[in-house]
Structure 1
Amino acid sequence: MKCCYIFLSIFHNSVLHEAAGSFDKEDPSVPSVVAQLVSFQISGNIIIATPGRLEDMFRRKAEGLDLANYVKSLDVLVLDEADRLLDMGFEASINTILEFLPKQRRTGLFSATQTQEVENLVRAGLRNPVRISVKEKGVAATSTQKTPSRLENYYMVCKADEKFNQLVHFLRNHKQEKHLVFFSTCACVEYYGKALEALIKNVKIMCIHGKMKYKRNKIFMEFRKLQSGILVCTDVMARGIDIPEVNWVLQYDPPSNASAFVHRCGRTARIGHAGSALVFLLPMEESYVNFLSINQKCPLQEMKLQKNPADLLPQLKSMALADRAMFEKGMKAFVSCVQAYAKHECNLIFRLKDLDFASLARGFALLRMPKMPELRGKQFPDFVPVTIDTDTIAFKDKNREKQRQKFLEQQRKEKKDSEGRKKFIKNKAWSKQKAKKEKKKKMIEKRKREEEFDMEDEDMQELLNDTRLLKKLKKGKMSEEEFEKRLLAHDKSKGKQEDLGSSDVGEDI
């Protein structure tokens, strides 16, 4: 039986689509699982797959196609981007796959930032592991720098409301080159991608992020063929892809973890080619440069701010005022950016409480501040919202606007009916209930006062009778025997009255 090779990757676009037997189940153009298995068993000896899809194929014995039986002759297992495969939720799938594979095999773990924990290597099924470090030709073996020597790494320190102007100014001055522009979230890619399309002319601008499905691979393949252009993206493009002749990697937002910084930069200066990378940092984030130099062995040099860049934020505001789609994209992008910032791995440098929200909102050209937990109770005197009611901003797309107006009208009607119904029922029930409670309360208080008055009156009368008897005894008008007799008779009479529930007062002497 011929030898078999398995190549596992966390990615299901570029690398997998270029290889025979691609297993990207998002793309309808890819053959079904059954067709893939038949084709593989007839002619193939290399499997290139994502963990989830390969696990699914191993479990499909019911369809009469036993891949597990075929891979008994497995010779080599390759885990690409091994550091991510072992820490981003693929552990269960990896363990399931390993159960189907023979123990006697060669296993390779590949990554630009390969983990050093022995536990991870054992989990991957390695025996007698050997670490192999690949160095660039001409670089000293003692060098610890993780990025290519031909990569020029820069950073630029600017305020949040200056960052977008600096980015556009830079891109306008490098129109003939190929750029990757990284943002922290999908919403930021959607928003700033539209903004760049409108503000930078005669340049092909494309957007790609993890929430795209069928068109993601098409966009990627199209961008690869371009001689110049701009790809606005998230970290979905940070690993496992090869785009020829990328001149600049621009990081508008620093990545959530330091290892991703190295992978982002690795999209340029590949295979001996020269390339450059630039990360934009806020003044409070400048210590991130030293952190990267020490933690990731990635030295950076400062790039000065571009002088007198055009202020494009008013144009961005005008775009939001003219189209509700743009306004909503900006609000979502701001919220997602703040939430991503709060989850940054290096939270000693990227501190949410030190973030200037007003400056950040101006950088997003927001018309007003959104309502979100992170902004609750805060005041922003440096941010001036627009004076118009943002609910009046319409969609440029007439169909979307028509649907919105229909929805708003339905909401107003439901709210009106609901308020009227609640008001009528609530007021009627409340008034009756209140009157009843007040009447009952008054009756209880009245009864209590009457009982207290009767008790006080009875006690006072008893005291007066006893006092009269005592006075007669002292004046000699009554003997001690008669005094005791009358006092005893009075006590007996009182006992009978209490037994009968009588309120009569004792006799007056």
Structure 2
Amino acid sequence: MEHVTEGSWESLPLRLHPRVLGALRELGFPYMTPVQVGALIITPTRELAVQIDEVLAHFTKPFPQFSQILWIGGRNPGEDVERFKEQGGNIIVATPGRLEDMFRRKAEGLDLASCVRSLDVLVLDEADRLLDMGFEASINTILEFLPKQRRTGLFSATQTQEVESLVRAGLRNPVRISVKEKGAAASCTRKTPSRLENYYMVCKADEKFNQLVHFLRNHKQEKHLIFFSTCACVEYYGKALEALVKGVTIMCIHGKMKHKRNKIFMAFRKLQSGALVCTDVMARGIDIPEVNWVLQYDPPSSASAFVHRCGRTARIGHGGSALVFLLPMEESYVNFLEINQKCPLQEMKLQKDTGDLLPKLKSMALADRAVFEKGMKAFVSYIQAYAKHECSLIFRLKDLDFASLARGFALLRMPRMPELRGKQFPGFVPADVNTDTIPFKDKIREKQRQKLLEQQKEKRENDGRKKFLKNKAWSKQKAKKEKKKKMNEKRKREEGSDIEDGDMEELLNDTRLLKKFKKGKITEEEFEKGLLASGKRTVTTADLGVPAREQDC
């Protein structure tokens, strides 16, 4: 175990270049901080990559012979390729997805695999998060392109099993460096910053939004990060806060944003006050100056993420506060954090006279279909995320008060989803409105929706007409076949009956004639005439087996 302590730059055994020392003085770092790095740097989020790139620029600026380049999502990859071909990059800062993409762009004249053969240092920043976010496959692909002889640095605030596995599998002669605070803070086992005041508030699901709005209205001059569990919740509640908290700049950022994400991040960093509504994409490594409050509207899916969220305030010796909202059934999470994460919390009582803003939120949904749809998506995503919580003994889906939760989301009706199937919600009263008739406030979107509805209606009518005609034709054909079958059966019966009756009549007639002939009541000539009269061919007594009478000589 190697411990790094603070010291002056002049105390290093190898003196730094005067220009490096000048950049350090310009940044305001008179002493060494625990970590200084360079070369190929991979980080999980584009915001953190931007931040690292900015810091590196201070060091490369005095050295024009060195160039650096930033590769992140949300930018044109073709332009990144051309920029690299023109300017090169002694130091590359990248997110995994974009870096992997660059390795595969040989068709555009970029042979990055050849360029990194002389790589000296690889840095995986927030290494545990890189693996946790599903970048493992990309990281493995990237490592295959890199030379085996290199220095590798894994930086992480939490040491997960995945990081330990990566250390054993990919590092030679690994050395662990642990960073600790000096003085009284060093003797404390807590994982959160020593100057952080950590609070929790217990409130029902349908009270939480009112409490949040009231809090923001009373802290307008401060800077806040507000964490939600899903991107859909950020979209919905961000829109709600923007409308209901006047005089406060509200911004939203989450992982599914594309081009405007970088712009929003940079703009919020420059604000003196305001609120950034976000997901855990902002929980790691991000250094936003002077964040006063970290508000966790939804507890994170893991205990380690709770600590990282709180760490966005009270940074580098500054003070700061954090507040997490908990449902009554979740209150035992406080004890869990204290035991599991060495993170003590103190209770903040419910604020009084908050007022009820949920009717206004319902009115927004009734007036704009965009708000209504965002609310439904947010509710569904919240429940799905809740079901996957790491601490399932505390966050139990089956114990959720869905009616109170739906009221807290100001829903007009319950969505159809598997988790709610077969359940009754007596505590939730749906709005007396046909939600299909709610229009978009945006006239272009509403026009598109009406056009789509018309197309769907026409399709249903055409499908119904086709089905009707098909059924009608099939019915006609079936009726025709049945009728033909019945007629054939009737004809067969009639024909069979005629043949049988005619034969019987002729047989009886022939029998009577034969009896008369045998008894001598009629002559042979009269007998043959009788047979001819009944339609028989000319026959003789020999044909009937009757012996001929003796003729007169």
Bucket of the pairwise TM-score, normalised by the shorter protein: 0.7 to 0.9
More displaced stretch, 344-353 vs 432-441: 432-441
2:80 is equivalent to residue 23 of structure 1: no
> What displacement does 1:72 show?
3.8
Q: Could you tell me how far apart the structure 2 residues matched to 1:170 and 1:377 are?
A: 37
Alpha-carbon spacing, 1:29–1:74, altered in 2? closer, same or farther (3 Å): closer
> What displacement does 1:236 show?
1.2
Which residue in the other structure is 2:249 paired with?
Answer: 204
CA contact (8 A) 1:86 1:120 kept: no
Alpha-carbon spacing, 1:417–1:152, altered in 2? closer, same or farther (3 Å): same
Alpha-carbon spacing, 1:39–1:378, altered in 2? closer, same or farther (3 Å): same
Query: What are the Cα deviations for residues 290-316 of structure 1, in whole angstroms up to 9, with x where unaligned?
Result: 221222222211111111211000111
Which residue in the other structure is 1:499 paired with?
Answer: none
Q: Could you tell me how far apart the structure 1 residues matched to 2:74 and 2:286 are?
A: 18
2:281 is equivalent to residue 233 of structure 1: no
Alpha-carbon spacing, 1:370–1:64, altered in 2? closer, same or farther (3 Å): closer
Alpha-carbon spacing, 1:435–1:348, altered in 2? closer, same or farther (3 Å): farther
CA contact (8 A) 1:253 1:280 kept: yes
The one-letter code of the counterpart of 1:11 is T
Query: What are the Cα deviations for residues 89-135 of structure 1, in whole angstroms up to 9, with x where unaligned?
Result: 33333233333333333221111112256422123x22232222212
Which residue in the other structure is 2:259 paired with?
Answer: 214
Q: Could you tell me how far apart the structure 2 residues matched to 1:130 and 1:75 are?
A: 17
- Percent same amino acid at aligned positions? 76
Which residue in the other structure is 2:84 paired with?
Answer: 36
TM-score by length of 2: 0.73
Aligned residue for 2:39, secondary structure, equals strand
Which residue in the other structure is 2:45 paired with?
Answer: 11
More displaced stretch, 136-145 vs 267-276: 136-145
Q: Could you tell me how far apart the structure 1 residues matched to 2:153 and 2:219 are?
A: 40
The one-letter code of the counterpart of 1:7 is I
2:421 is equivalent to residue 387 of structure 1: no
Q: Could you tell me how far apart the structure 2 residues matched to 1:96 and 1:37 are?
A: 22
Alpha-carbon spacing, 1:395–1:197, altered in 2? closer, same or farther (3 Å): same
Q: Could you tell me how far apart the structure 1 residues matched to 2:410 and 2:123 are?
A: 47
The one-letter code of the counterpart of 1:150 is R
Alpha-carbon spacing, 1:423–1:35, altered in 2? closer, same or farther (3 Å): same
More displaced stretch, 79-88 vs 139-148: 139-148
CA contact (8 A) 1:4 1:45 kept: no
Aligned residue for 1:109, secondary structure, equals strand
Alpha-carbon spacing, 1:426–1:188, altered in 2? closer, same or farther (3 Å): same
> What displacement does 1:210 show?
1.1
CA contact (8 A) 1:368 1:386 kept: yes
Query: What are the Cα deviations for residues 449-483 of structure 1, in whole angstroms up to 9, with x where unaligned?
Result: xxxxxxxxxxxxxxxxxxxxxxxxxxxxxxxxxxx
Match of 2:102 among 53, 57, 64: 57
Q: Over the residues paired in the alignment, what is the CA RMSD in angstroms?
A: 2.7
Q: Could you tell me how far apart the structure 2 residues matched to 1:81 and 1:235 are?
A: 13
Aligned residue for 2:450, secondary structure, equals helix
Query: What are the Cα deviations for residues 435-462 of structure 1, in whole angstroms up to 9, with x where unaligned?
Result: 9799999x99xxxxxxxxxxxxxxxxxx
Match of 1:119 among 165, 173, 179: 165
Match of 1:137 among 182, 195, 217: 182
Alpha-carbon spacing, 1:93–1:323, altered in 2? closer, same or farther (3 Å): closer
Aligned residue for 1:280, secondary structure, equals strand
Pair member with larger Rg: 2
CA contact (8 A) 1:14 1:217 kept: no
Alpha-carbon spacing, 1:368–1:55, altered in 2? closer, same or farther (3 Å): closer
Aligned residue for 1:155, secondary structure, equals strand
CA contact (8 A) 2:369 2:440 kept: yes
The 5 A counterparts of 1:456-495 are none
The 5 A counterparts of 1:52-201 are 52-60=97-105, 65-115=110-160, 118-123=164-169, 125-201=170-246
Alpha-carbon spacing, 1:275–1:353, altered in 2? closer, same or farther (3 Å): same
Which residue in the other structure is 1:457 paired with?
Answer: none
Q: Could you tell me how far apart the structure 2 residues matched to 1:281 and 1:167 are?
A: 12
The one-letter code of the counterpart of 1:135 is K
CA contact (8 A) 1:14 1:221 kept: no
> What displacement does 1:258 show?
1.6
Which residue in the other structure is 1:254 paired with?
Answer: 299
Aligned residue for 2:178, secondary structure, equals coil
Match of 1:333 among 378, 388, 402: 378
Alpha-carbon spacing, 1:438–1:169, altered in 2? closer, same or farther (3 Å): farther
Match of 1:344 among 389, 392, 395: 389
More displaced stretch, 397-406 vs 204-213: 397-406
Match of 1:365 among 393, 410, 413: 410
Q: Could you tell me how far apart the structure 2 residues matched to 1:214 and 1:356 are?
A: 38
Aligned residue for 2:69, secondary structure, equals coil
More displaced stretch, 428-437 vs 279-288: 428-437
Which residue in the other structure is 2:496 paired with?
Answer: none
Q: Could you tell me how far apart the structure 1 residues matched to 2:146 and 2:434 are?
A: 63
The one-letter code of the counterpart of 1:365 is A
Query: What are the Cα deviations for residues 229-275 of structure 1, in whole angstroms up to 9, with x where unaligned?
Result: 01111111111321110000111111112221111111111111111
Query: What are the Cα deviations for residues 183-223 of structure 1, in whole angstroms up to 9, with x where unaligned?
Result: 11111111111110111111111111111111100000000
Which residue in the other structure is 2:495 paired with?
Answer: none
Q: Could you tell me how far apart the structure 1 residues matched to 2:131 and 2:180 are?
A: 24
Aligned residue for 1:426, secondary structure, equals helix
The 5 A counterparts of 1:422-441 are 422-426=467-471, 429=474, 433=478
Give the paired residue count.
Answer: 437
Query: What are the Cα deviations for residues 41-80 of structure 1, in whole angstroms up to 9, with x where unaligned?
Result: xxx4322122233334344556555444443443322110
Match of 2:353 among 272, 285, 308: 308
Which residue in the other structure is 2:445 paired with?
Answer: 400
> What displacement does 1:432 show?
6.7
Q: Could you tell me how far apart the structure 1 residues matched to 2:76 and 2:109 are?
A: 23
More displaced stretch, 264-273 vs 141-150: 141-150
Q: Could you tell me how far apart the structure 2 residues matched to 1:37 and 1:13 are?
A: 24
The one-letter code of the counterpart of 2:167 is L
More displaced stretch, 363-372 vs 395-404: 395-404
CA contact (8 A) 1:78 1:110 kept: yes
Query: What are the Cα deviations for residues 359-413 of structure 1, in whole angstroms up to 9, with x where unaligned?
Result: 0000011111111111111111110111121122122122222222222222223
Which residue in the other structure is 1:496 paired with?
Answer: none
Q: Could you tell me how far apart the structure 2 residues matched to 1:153 and 1:210 are?
A: 26
Q: Could you tell me how far apart the structure 1 residues matched to 2:101 and 2:452 are?
A: 42
Aligned residue for 1:385, secondary structure, equals coil
Q: Could you tell me how far apart the structure 2 residues matched to 1:153 and 1:435 are?
A: 83
Query: What are the Cα deviations for residues 296-348 of structure 1, in whole angstroms up to 9, with x where unaligned?
Result: 22221111111121100011111111111111111111111111111212112
Aligned residue for 2:430, secondary structure, equals coil
Q: Could you tell me how far apart the structure 1 residues matched to 2:108 and 2:453 are?
A: 51
The one-letter code of the counterpart of 1:378 is K
Alpha-carbon spacing, 1:409–1:64, altered in 2? closer, same or farther (3 Å): closer
Query: What are the Cα deviations for residues 404-430 of structure 1, in whole angstroms up to 9, with x where unaligned?
Result: 222222222322332243234335635
